[in-house]
Amino acid sequence: MQDESAEYLDPRAVRTREALHAAMLQLLTEKSLEQISVRDIVAQAGIGYTTFFRHHPTKESLLEAIAAEQIGALFRLAIPVMDARDLRAGAIALFTFVDANRALWTTLLTGGAAGVIRDEFLRQARAIAAERGESDRLMPPDLGTILIVSSVLELVTWWLRQAEPMPIAQVAEILDTTLVTPVIEAGKRTL
């Protein structure tokens, strides 16, 4: 596998990476990850079979790369708002980002990739919690992270499945007042 930084600069590699991502996302709208083969992906992407392996060793690693990229973008947007302690604004930022990329997130969360997305979301959230965690709290940071991430993912998935989704401000209020704030408050209590 080649140097990742070089891959992001080479226009041909960038086009191939984008084609692979688009192909995987399209295929995930049609079937589960287990039903998708590398041959399916390369046929959809219009690239050679061996080219796939220059970028990813497995179809799972391709999906993990897509998940890491999207979830990283979401966290980069939401964390500064959370640091400002404006949880409602953070929730609005989260749903605005998801809404702006609705087709992608619908595929990721309601298609055949939901398990991989959840695992990657938890991995990145746990890394953030580990950096910020305090050991003298009633609720361990890892547990709070699991509860919040699971709740966020379930709410976002539910929202994406609605024929007429509720307004962003309303779903953000639900997230803030019923899911995130109670867990954060419990996590602030000391032993």
Reported as a single tens digit per residue, the pLDDT across 24-33 is 988 887 887 8
Give the pLDDT confidence score for residue 15 in this predicted structure: 93
Segment 113-132 mean pLDDT: 80
CATH, domain range 4-57: 1.10.10.60
Give the pLDDT confidence score for residue 108 in this predicted structure: 81
Confidence of residue 186 (pLDDT cuts 50, 70, 90): confident
The mean of the pLDDT values for the chain is 83
Locate tokens 């790369």: which residue? 65
Confidence of residue 97 (pLDDT cuts 50, 70, 90): confident
Smallest Cα–Cα separation from 91: which of 183, 165, 175, 26?
175
How does pLDDT run across 137-165, given as a tens digit for each residue? Answer: 677 777 877 888 888 888 999 999 999 99
**CA-CA-CA-CA torsion sign (161, 167, 172, 173):** negative
Give the pLDDT confidence score for residue 7 in this predicted structure: 56
Residue 111 sits at the vertex; the CA angle it makes with 110 and 116, to the nearest 5 degrees, is 95
**Every domain of the chain and the residues it spans:** 4-57, 65-188
